[in-house]
Amino acid sequence: MISLSDLRRFKKEGRKFSCLTCYDASMSKAMEVAQIDSVLIGDSLGMTIQGHDSTLPVTVRDMVYHTACVRRANQHAFIMADLPFMAYATTNDALKNAKKVMQAGAQMVKIEGGAWLADTVASLTRNGVPVCMHLGLTPQSVNVFGGYKVQARTRQAADTLLQECRTLVEAGAAILLLECVPAQVGKEVAQAFPETPVIGIGAGADTDGQVLVVQDMLGLTQGHVAKFVYNFMSTQSGPYAILDAIKTYHHAVTTNIFPALEQTFQIELK
């Protein structure tokens, strides 16, 4: 099974790594066969599995259930799990809820926010819980942002994001995940932290890893499709089309074919 040490080694070697969201055993097994490097049991399941219009209704109990399902079927990938909305409002909440998802099979928890979570990150790390920090566009805060918008669009905002990343890494964050930021910002963050893997989703091609929601990369998204999404099912056919699409995604990420220019935000920072 891939470990956090392996992801750090991949970064040191310049080897890109793949990540997909996953919520059930059958898809988890397909990702194992396709050799996906990391899977994320995301609170995106609130929309993709439960039919909500945001991630906010997802509970810790939901995350524990889906994490256990994914873990049983996959002995290859590094497994991360989200702590959902308000599950880490206090340090005690974070410790209590991280314990539940880690015991269900996660190897790392992911939380959304900025430097204000440094104490929480430090406490989790001290207690043996590796932390992935999700910055940029953080869906749990969509009501604060006023919608799904590109973040860090100016030089000042990008510098603020970099400083927040630095504070969180110093507190113990083991992985950074950047969503919906200009490609230049993704590159700067990845270069600023040589020991810390950086995963991107809509953060350009220069991050160390890439993640997509699996339903998005399989072309199952209805309505608006984000700029950073590519439908890997569009070139597949036959009885193993889904597995072939996942394999194609893994190859495209690890060979730096994906994301291409058209899936990135090319914004000049001023």
Rounded Cα distance between 212 and 29, Å, is 17
Spatial distance between the Cα atoms of 257 and 130, rounded to a whole number of angstroms: 29
State the pLDDT at residue 270: 77
Number of domains into which the chain is organized: 1
Find where tokens 């880690």 sit: 102
Note the pLDDT of residue 143. 55
CATH number for the domain harbouring residue 93: 3.20.20.60
Catalytic pick among 32, 112, 164, 179: 179
Res 139: pLDDT: 82
Q: What is the pLDDT of residue 154?
A: 95
CA distances from 182 to 166, 199, 206, 224 (A): 18, 14, 11, 20
269 located within any domain: no
Please give the pLDDT value at position 223.
Answer: 83
| Rounded distance between C-alpha atoms, residue 120 and residue 127, angstroms | 11
Query: What residue numbers bound the domain in which 152 lies?
Result: 4-263
Ordered per-residue pLDDT tens for the chain, 270 residues = 999 999 999 999 999 999 999 999 999 999 999 999 999 999 999 999 999 999 999 999 999 999 999 999 999 999 999 999 999 999 999 999 999 999 999 999 999 999 999 999 999 999 999 999 999 999 877 656 456 689 999 999 999 999 999 999 999 999 999 999 999 999 999 999 999 999 999 999 999 999 999 999 999 988 889 999 999 999 999 999 999 999 999 999 999 999 999 999 999 897
Is 270 inside any structural domain?
no
| Known active-site residue 179 | yes
8 A C-beta contact, residue 91 and residue 123: yes
Tell me if 23 is assigned to some domain: yes
Collapsed DSSP state (helix, strand, coil) of residue 110: strand
